[in-house]
Amino acid sequence: MEAEYYSSSELGFDKSDISQDSFEIIQNLKSHGYDGLLVGGCVRDLTLGLKPKDFDVVTDALPHQICKIFPRSRIIGRRFKIVHVRQQGQRYMDYIEVTTYRADPESPGSWVSKILPKSRNKRKVFQGENIYGTREEDVMRRDFTINSLYYDPVEERVIDYLGGIQDIQQQQLRMIGNPRQRFLEDPARIIRAIRFKAKLGFDFEHGMEEEIQQHTAWVEGLNSSRFYDEVVKFFNQGAAEESWDQIFETPLGEMLFSHMASDRRSNNSDQFTGFIRQALRNTDRRVREGLPVIDSFFIAVVFWSEYKKSLLRYMGKGLREHDAHDSAVSDCLVKRPQLLIIPFRVCDIVHEIWRMQAMLERRDKRDIRPIMANRRFRAAYDFLVLRSTVGEVDPTCVKWWTEIQEVDSMERKSMITQLPNPKPRSKRRRRKNRSVRQHARLHATQPQDMM
């Protein structure tokens, strides 16, 4: 396989644009006689003039050999082993992924295909194995040509086997191999294709869009946690609003957010649609400014209208606000039939964001300090501000919460004191169970002096 080489300077970047940690890892691998390159999305983004989020290293060293070179590392994964290398002085969560070149056991040229009989299921035989290979074999396992680029920061050159640089220049999203076959092998590629189109503004190669429209249902076979991780990436890459539109250009939109699909079909630009769009724009702005975004906030936004309807329904049945809230959260995030299964850690945060909305609006002086001490307060406050932009919340309420975060402790105490005195809270009457009530009635009818 012939490769084309480009100097990074002619593509508009150099090694100063990559993380120092990844550069040191590559240098260390090379000093021990191994290959070491950056690969995938980080090289693509550098070529496009974007700032990569992650820097992934690939090498011909095996996982146990990598761990010998880097004592502060650990092997993760079972089917596909990856080494997380942590540099000296960094926190545990700050690591670089280092992966060994792999071969596809089912590709015609693979050494695995030569030793296994054709009638055997190679995927099943090697389900728990890691099939390592050469760089030329590794590149054929990647999804899109724009993600198949390798960068050597020591030599300062990009290695292109499949025309990825040309596709970037032509703004084309091209699959490595037949799109239908590659989507069938890994349906997550359907989600990635839609995401890259939204993020980069590239056009699909001829025939890819038709394959996505016809076979989006294949994503239902993905592992639920992996599916969730792929979907939330739509909304943390700086193109959340465009991603929202692209999702609904395919069957994926209705599969994920069926409660929104009818509104979009009827071009209904109601208050809730504006609420979602404002949240997406705010998310994109935060990403551009380098501020953190959390997936739980987006989940809270998208299912807010469903939550409100469910909350009103339960309160109409006579449930107390607290119990109605718990039931509504369960209906919206846990019990509803859904393709997008939301992790419990996310449900817990959304539960708190929604629960605190009524408390923030009431401004009961007894609750102010506990609310502000709550670790979800800032997210709940941001949600309150977002609701005010579409007229759901009185602007004076938002202004008050904004000011109380900015003043000193004495002024804060004064602001709380000036709030109107709250209504007395009704004491909860302990409800006796049936046997207790029956026992009480029986005791009342018996003579008191039995002796």
Instruction: For residue 438, give both structure tokens.
Output: 């029956």
Instruction: For residue 351, give both structure tokens.
Output: 């539960």
Instruction: For residue 394, give both structure tokens.
Output: 């009185």
Q: Is 263 a catalytic residue?
A: no
Confirm if 333 and 306 have CB atoms less than 8 A apart.
Answer: no
Confirm if 419 and 397 have CB atoms less than 8 A apart.
Answer: no
Q: Which one of the listed residues 21, 45, 56, 295 is annotated catalytic? A: 56
Q: Which residues of 7-18 are buried (b: 16+ CB within 10 A; e: fewer)?
A: ebeebebebeeb
What residues contact 186, with CB distance under 8 A and at least 6 apart? 143
Distance CA 430, CA 432 (A): 6
Confirm if 226 and 188 have CB atoms less than 8 A apart.
Answer: yes
Tell which residue, 68, 140, 144, 59, has the closest CA to residue 101.
Answer: 59
Which letter does DSSP use for residue 376 in this model? T
Instruction: For residue 213, give both structure tokens.
Output: 């429209």
Backbone angles phi, psi at 84, to 5 degrees: -95, 115
DSSP 277-296: HHHHHHHHHHHHTT----HH
Phi-psi label, residue 165: left if phi above 0, alpha if psi -120 to 50, beta otherwise: alpha
Q: Which one of the listed residues 60, 104, 143, 152 is annotated catalytic? A: 143
Query: Which residue shows structure tokens 């071009």?
Result: 267
SS3 132: strand
Instruction: For residue 158, give both structure tokens.
Output: 């990009």
Alpha carbon 374 to chain centroid, angstroms? 24
Tell which residue, 18, 220, 239, 42, has the closest CA to residue 147.
Answer: 42
- The torsion angle over the Cα atoms of residues 109, 222, 161 and 19, rounded to 10 degrees, is -130
Q: Is 348 a catalytic residue?
A: no
Q: Which one of the listed residues 54, 94, 323, 394 is annotated catalytic? A: 54
Catalytic amino acids? 54, 56, 143
